[in-house]
Amino acid sequence: MRRILLWMAANRWLRRNLPRLWFARRAARRFMPGERMADALAAAQTFHGHQIGVLFTYLGENLRRVADAEATAEHYMELIAESHERGLDAEPSVKLTQLGFDFDRDLCLGHMEQLAVRARQHGNRTLWIDMEGSAYTEPTIALYERLKTSHENTGLCLQAYLKRTYTDVERLLPFQPRIRLVKGAYAEPHEIAYQKGREVDANYLALCVSILRAQKAGRQLFLGLGTHDVRLIEQVADHAASIGLPRTAFDVEMLYGIRADQQRRLKREGYNVRVLIAYGEAWYPWYMRRLAERPQNVAFALRQLLP
């Protein structure tokens, strides 16, 4: 099923036509509050009262026109300012291919620098770089190294299913990185990525242990757990406690609409919790990858089709 869903995410005909169908749009609402910035801000406001922060991601990828990249940068500039105006604990998470990475990497870096300045001016929020497929891993890390040198308030998403990720963490340690660790949601070959869930989980935990040990040793770095796997989160917390670190040594970051009961429970139990709110018209590939991540998500989506 995972292979089928990832194939559907990449299929151009389905990407163009399936989002037009009413039942597909209805099912997608399970994981996103709407397509407009106003929808995302309104959803974030509901978490504010529970002292749960949010991450915003404006959906879209692999833009090919300079004008589209500039429009996306302007959108995020407005989003950062509006979030600050409303008093929200909110951080943006951006795909580099939304900002022209495919056709002009210096232009993309310029946009990221502007966004990092805006985020610092509005509450010193972290500007996150979302990771894409493996073809982008090395150039994305290289851009982050350039960006982090002059903009401390920037973070990077890394993927636990890639076999290279431990080396990437070690490479980034001198930069005092802010890392959001996810399992990974793209179709990757077995030569570079673990294919079995238990292998990915084992590597995820090992990476977390390595990062927490670096924290304990005095390294300045941040860890965000981008997962809905509560068992794995609690294993990380147990290890943190065993070396004298509190639950607040890392953040728990879950998607809007998934395991909301666990989000509130973890917050009550002393964890730092954030919810990632995705929105925008270009939701189809992102949505299909979310279905591929967890078989339970497919059941959730099918239930949305019922009256």
Catalytic residue among 130, 168, 229, 251: 130
Residue 138, C-beta contacts closer than 8 angstroms, at least 6 positions apart: none
Alpha helices in the chain (DSSP H): 2-10, 12-17, 22-28, 37-48, 66-85, 105-121, 137-150, 165-172, 197-216, 230-242, 260-268, 284-293, 295-303
Question: What secondary structure letter does DSSP report for 88?
Answer: -
Asked whether the beta carbons of 250 and 240 are under 8 A apart, the reply is yes
Catalytic status, residue 130:
yes
Distance of CA 39 to the CA centre of its chain: 19
Catalytic residue among 178, 180, 290, 294: 180
Q: How far apart are CA 150 and CA 154, in angstroms?
A: 10
Q: How far apart are CA 179 and CA 100, in angstroms?
A: 23
Catalytic status, residue 180:
yes
Q: Cite the active site residues.
A: 130, 180
